Amino acid sequence: MAYIDVDQQFCADDYDGLVIGLAANLGNHNSGFHTHNKDQLLYSNQGCMIINLAGLKCVLPPMRAAWIPAGIVHNAQMHNVTQYRSLYFDPSLQSQLSRELKIIDINPLMQALLERMAMWSFTKARAEQVNAVNLLIEELNQANDSHLNLPLPQDPRLKHWLATINHSDFIAPSLTELSQQIGASSKTISRIFSKETAMPYQSWRQQWRLITAVELLSNNQSISDISYRLGFANDSAFISFFRQKTGLTPRHYMYANTRS
């Protein structure tokens, strides 16, 4: 069986299938920075994952999937994650698959394929995998990018400030406040963000608000608490912001995220 305990050792490279599936209940877990020789697809039915790599932070809410190509050094921090599922793709399939890390929407067909393949025997014959693998690859290549990522500037002046970005009390302040915190002019900060993240600071701050809202929603925080945490004037202002960014209200977004 592909179901393992959280403390059980596992290496996808030890197995020869086109896709090696893995299932577990992880709760709170930190993978540490690591890399894979195989492309990885992962998701869960509940809880939230934060995926960090050099220059990028991604939020993976329930019932969306993270596509992590081989060779990318990353760290996955998991909070209340249940029904964790992970698939590892043989290197021979790389020419058919994206080489960029992204968070993607999954439809009911993809969900069914992920669930079935995560439970495959580690020794399942390749010939028995081909049809399902080809169908999943087709769906993956058509999947929408959820854009739940945040590019991170690497300028040394921002290093200590960004070092706390995954702390529960991290706040992305106004441009004026950030200027005062790090001792650089607003003009300098704007130039750094535009150069290193391809977006002005104000746009970066709004993206931080979005992915943080999704993270907090995934961890069952209330609308009022999230609105206050992110500095909105009231709940209505937060809901309006969220709808503008996603096309859905926060409640509808999470319902769509967790539907079966």
pLDDT in tens, the chain (260 residues): 465 665 667 888 899 999 999 998 878 888 899 999 999 999 998 889 999 998 999 999 998 999 999 999 999 999 888 889 999 999 999 999 999 999 999 999 999 999 999 999 999 999 999 999 999 999 999 999 999 999 999 999 999 999 999 898 999 999 999 999 999 999 999 999 999 999 999 999 999 999 999 999 999 999 999 999 999 999 999 999 999 999 999 989 887 644 44
Go through the domains of the chain in sequence order and give each one's CATH number: 12-142 (2.60.120.280), 154-258 (1.10.10.60)
Q: What is the pLDDT of residue 6?
A: 58
- Distance between CA atoms of residues 29 and 204, nearest Å: 28
Sign of the four-CA dihedral 14, 18, 24, 27: positive
Q: 127 by DSSP, 3-state: which?
A: helix
- φ, ψ dihedrals at 4, nearest 5°: -125, 160
Structure tokens at 84: 């964790």
Contact 140, 51 (CB under 8 A): no
Instruction: For residue 208, give both structure tokens.
Output: 């931080």
Q: How far apart are CA 4 and CA 10, in angstroms?
A: 8
How many angstroms from the chain centroid is the CA of residue 92? Answer: 25
- Please state the length of the chain: 260
What integer pLDDT is reported at residue 259 of this predicted model? 46
d(CA 58, CA 55): 10
